[in-house]
């Protein structure tokens, strides 16, 4: 699926989509790894952004995303694990992102006095509020949905896809008041912040619950410990976008890893349809 810039989920065909996570590639050979994944049929390229505050790790920023954009026309699916998503969506839009997914938990604290333009030029950087360091099981307040709706509207104004993500400890119900507006929901199947973690099987029930909340044209993405075995299980519960890092870029044969994951996802989707109750 080649990008013409803009919302990639509106142009995606039906069926599972494979999204290699570039954080797991060898940055010294990033172009080679991107080419191998795309040649094997990868649909979008997933970019994980971590600010060292919302999650305890740092990754890359807008200049690296801009470098990816300058290298490839493939859709860039940017997942921002940051405390102030409103500050960052503008910057990643400018850098060349086609879609941005933010965390509903990060919408728990929103400074209503700071406008979009001011967020772009704040000399002291993003708004940081200490209570945004959210534990995995912390309840998301109802106000978060209102703030999430503003982020989604802004992303759509910018012509980008809009996604919202849930940490493992956050229930699907936290998305109830924003899910109608988004293009994609990302269910984290590990605690965000580090690659290479083991898949959390208790997230399968949440995947099925979220799928039941979505329209047919909305995408359900999973990220964390995804490989052919876990990807098939997620597809059976309704997931249709599969983010994989180590399983693809840690493989000796990147192309084979992409093809194997797609085959497993397609098989899981068929099993899901086969066992779906008829009405």
Q: Which of 48, 51, 84, 98 is catalytic?
A: 48
Distance CA 83, CA 66 (A): 22
Distance CA 201, CA 204 (A): 6
CA 242 to each of CA 78, 124, 176: distance values in angstroms, whole numbers, following the listed order? 14, 36, 23
Q: Which of 43, 98, 183, 223 is catalytic?
A: 223
Annotation says 48 is catalytic: yes
Q: Which residues contact 123 (CB under 8 A, 6 or more apart)?
A: none
For residue 30, give the H/E element and its range: helix 30-39
Annotation says 51 is catalytic: no
Q: Which residues contact 76 (CB under 8 A, 6 or more apart)?
A: 3, 44, 45, 47, 65, 68, 69, 96, 97, 98, 99
Q: Which residues are catalytic?
A: 48, 223
């Amino acid at each position: 699926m080649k990008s013409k810039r803009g919302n990639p989920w509106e142009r995606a065909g039906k069926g599972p989509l494979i999204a290699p996570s570039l954080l797991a590639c060898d940055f010294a050979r990033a172009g080679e790894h991107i080419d191998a994944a795309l040649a094997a049929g990868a649909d979008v390229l997933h970019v994980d952004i971590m600010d060292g505050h919302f999650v305890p790790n740092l990754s890359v920023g807008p200049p690296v995303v801009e470098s990816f954009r300058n290298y490839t026309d493939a859709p860039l699916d940017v997942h921002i694990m940051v405390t102030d998503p409103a500050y960052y969506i503008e910057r990643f839009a400018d850098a060349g992102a086609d879609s941005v997914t933010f965390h509903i938990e990060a919408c728990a604290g929103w400074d209503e006095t700071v406008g979009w333009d001011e967020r772009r030029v704040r000399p002291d950087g993003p708004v940081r509020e200490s209570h945004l360091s959210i534990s995995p099981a912390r309840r998301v307040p109802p106000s978060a949905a209102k703030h999430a709706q503003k982020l989604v509207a802004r992303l759509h104004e910018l012509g980008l896809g809009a996604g919202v993500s849930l940490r493992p400890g956050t229930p699907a119900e936290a998305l109830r008041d924003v899910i109608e507006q988004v293009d994609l929901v990302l269910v984290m199947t590990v605690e965000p912040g580090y690659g290479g973690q083991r898949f959390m099987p208790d997230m399968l029930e949440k995947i099925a619950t979220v799928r039941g909340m979505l329209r047919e044209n909305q995408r359900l993405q999973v990220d964390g410990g995804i490989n052919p075995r876990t990807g098939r299980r997620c597809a059976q519960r309704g997931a249709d976008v599969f983010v994989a890092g180590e399983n693809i870029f840690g493989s000796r044969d990147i192309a084979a890893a992409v093809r194997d994951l797609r085959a497993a996802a397609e098989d899981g989707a068929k099993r899901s349809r086969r066992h779906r109750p008829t009405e």
